[in-house]
């Protein structure tokens, strides 16, 4: 027998997810969501594509909702790391805006289909309280990370925020989500003018440098 199928606690599951098999399962579920959607991605599909038994998915994650949440969490970690690295060298309002635009381009048009993935997970979360709570926590983490970066830039005199950092971060993320949804819905539309309008909004929210 490859592994017990007894459903673990969330804390126990988190302690096992650094294994190669767990990472393969997360990658397989992510790929399956891109091709079949969240609703159509079953444990049977994922187990076969990850090259593991179905019971091992239960061993590591317990439920499909926990596995979906882990896929979202993994993507969130990667994107926050990329944003933090880019923001580290952003020493002006224009540089910060360019980072935000680069993140949006990667989110929407990147080969990994991140935007489509997040929208699939959001849709699935509307019908499951556990996944809904996990998605809310992911949004809090992203918003908090952006807000912390903005506070630091304000302390350095790079920006002069027009509102509190959490609110500015929330609006900037809402702009990005809205742009991504429109771009995915109308891929042939020229969005350059819309992005320029978004940059003006971001520049207003970030204010002028005090240096």
Q: What is the average pLDDT across 160-185?
A: 94
The pLDDT tens digits of the residues spanning 85-109 come to 888 888 899 999 999 999 898 888 8
pLDDT at 173: 93
Q: Are 156 and 141 in contact (CB under 8 A)?
A: no
- Please give the domain boundaries of the chain with CATH numbers for all domains: 1-62 (1.10.10.60), 70-206 (1.10.357.10)
pLDDT of residue 1 exceeding 60, the answer is no
Residue 180 falls in which region: left (phi positive, over 0), alpha (psi -120 to 50) or beta:
alpha
Give CA separation, 61 vs 5, 70, 127, 188, in Å: 10, 8, 19, 39
pLDDT of residue 86: 87
4 pLDDT tier (thresholds 50, 70, 90): very low
pLDDT in tens, 7-45: 444 434 445 656 888 999 999 999 898 888 888 899 999
Question: Residue range 71-78: average pLDDT?
Answer: 88
The position carrying tokens 């969005």 is 191
């Amino acid at each position: 027998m490859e592994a017990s199928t007894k459903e673990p606690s969330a804390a126990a599951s988190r302690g096992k997810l650094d294994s190669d098999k767990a990472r393969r399962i997360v990658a397989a579920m992510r790929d399956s969501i891109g091709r079949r959607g969240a609703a159509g991605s079953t444990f049977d599909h994922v187990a076969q594509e990850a090259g593991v038994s179905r019971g091992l998915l239960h061993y590591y994650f317990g439920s499909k909702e926990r596995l979906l949440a882990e896929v979202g969490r993994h993507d969130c970690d990667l994107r926050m790391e990329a944003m933090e690295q880019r923001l580290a060298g952003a020493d002006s309002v224009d540089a910060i805006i360019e980072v935000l635009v680069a993140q949006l381009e990667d989110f929407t048009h990147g080969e990994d289909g991140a935007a489509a993935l997040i929208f699939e997970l959001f849709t699935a979360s509307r019908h499951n309280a556990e996944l809904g709570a996990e998605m809310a926590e992911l949004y809090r983490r992203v918003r908090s990370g952006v807000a912390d970066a903005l506070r630091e830039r304000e302390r350095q005199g790079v920006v002069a925020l027009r509102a509190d950092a959490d609110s500015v971060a929330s609006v900037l993320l809402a702009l990005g989500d809205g742009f991504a949804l429109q771009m995915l819905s109308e891929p042939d539309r020229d969005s350059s003018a819309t992005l320029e309008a978004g940059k003006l909004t971001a520049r207003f929210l970030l204010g002028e440098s005090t240096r």
